Structure 1
């Protein structure tokens, strides 16, 4: 690279607009690839776009903080994009009301089972408490998950990575898994996708069916609310068990008798 070209690249690399353009271009290209494959689960646009951006950063030697100065504009739009999911929910409110009880049951089961699995795996593999805190909200949309992790003393950056991985894996597996289980109800398929794979799963659900996308959006929002309540409680109970070893007698409550 000649001196003039190198100077131009250094200037552009420090411009947030460049990395915003790279991010959007990578996603548009990834979406075209997904469309060309008939929206095959393995051609998930988010996964392909992440690979594209990672290759560009590696080749150019760009540090992540420099990249994020431009990509933060997309990150900011996550909130409004989540709120926009209320529109299809309102349009299909009658369908939602008819499935309210099964949805609440699935929500309770999914949220509780997710937390239990995380805690059990953490205990089996002796995962340190800060990593466990970062791992607990992995099935919640990134904005809420990072907030939960930061409040409870976890690492928001690690949480963001885990959330993205969970969403990508969920979006890839949800369609073949539902077909293998012979589940054809788009309400159930969408709700499962949103519950387990948050925003990325919801995007995948909308690609399959608007009904599935609507129920995925509901699951994503409700799971964020429930997890924000359950995760601190579960982690607090674990912390109490660590402070009081199982072999040590627990303190007896004080009474008025000597």
Structure 2
């Protein structure tokens, strides 16, 4: 199996796409949050690598091409925001304050839990970028001296959980305003949460797209400050 992946240029990409497609079909059939396509694709990929005794390096040689699409895909999220530009201008102050509050809350939660669980400085800064997109979070973690690979895993887990449970949490707390819902998804669970926000509605998707960019910038600035607290 290792030899097959080493000799096939796109075997890793093919495995990832087939696993994601399987997750999408399960989600469409059962309509349950637990069948999140990204979660299913991660689980299937890990299972194949473990059963086939395939090293991550070998797999990544063929799957790395997907990573190249990460930044362009994030940039494309600006399209729904452009379509809702007038709505953004009407609520600019509330949006900015909401995103600032969301970013500080995210960083403050990591600080509080790190103190509670007795994490050291390196482990703490590894978790600080958990709610921003991978493209930005990797750079923040590396600059602060964290474990970049763990940061990537934490970012993915955060996004998947937001995608799975975000809508349920909004219903529990009776959050019905489309702008508020969109900002919450983007500020807490980045691009993966934004995918869910786009499913819910155009306004939610646009505001979530904005939240990814603004929260990312705010986290880059504030994470450097919070990194000195532990």
TM range (shorter): over 0.9
C-alpha contact (below 8 Å) 1:199/1:220 kept by paired residues: yes
**1:114-169 CA deviation, whole Å, 9 max, x = no partner?**
11111121122220111111111111101111100101111110100110111111
**1:44-76 CA deviation, whole Å, 9 max, x = no partner?**
111111111111111111111111112211111
C-alpha contact (below 8 Å) 1:145/1:160 kept by paired residues: yes
Q: In the alignment, does 2:167 pair up with 1:190?
A: no
C-alpha contact (below 8 Å) 2:5/2:62 kept by paired residues: no
Please list every run of at least 4 consecutive aligned residues from structure 1 whose deviation after the TM superposition is greater than 4 angstroms: none
The 1-side partners of 2:70 and 2:26 are apart by 23
Q: In the alignment, does 2:27 pair up with 1:34?
A: yes
C-alpha contact (below 8 Å) 2:2/2:54 kept by paired residues: no
Paired positions, count: 229
The 1-side partners of 2:221 and 2:64 are apart by 28
C-alpha contact (below 8 Å) 1:41/1:175 kept by paired residues: no
The equivalent of 1:20 in structure 2 is 13
Residue pairs, 1:111-130, within 5 angstroms: 111-130=103-122
Q: Which has the higher helix share?
A: 2
Q: In the alignment, does 2:127 pair up with 1:135?
A: yes
Tell me which structure has the larger Cα radius of gyration: 1
SS in 2 for 1:16: coil
The 2-side partners of 1:16 and 1:127 are apart by 40
The 2-side partners of 1:224 and 1:131 are apart by 20
The 2-side partners of 1:25 and 1:209 are apart by 27
Q: Which runs of 5+ in 2 are unaligned?
A: none
C-alpha contact (below 8 Å) 2:144/2:224 kept by paired residues: yes
| TM-superposed deviation, 1:37 | 2.4
| TM-superposed deviation, 1:10 | 4.3
Q: In the alignment, does 2:142 pair up with 1:150?
A: yes
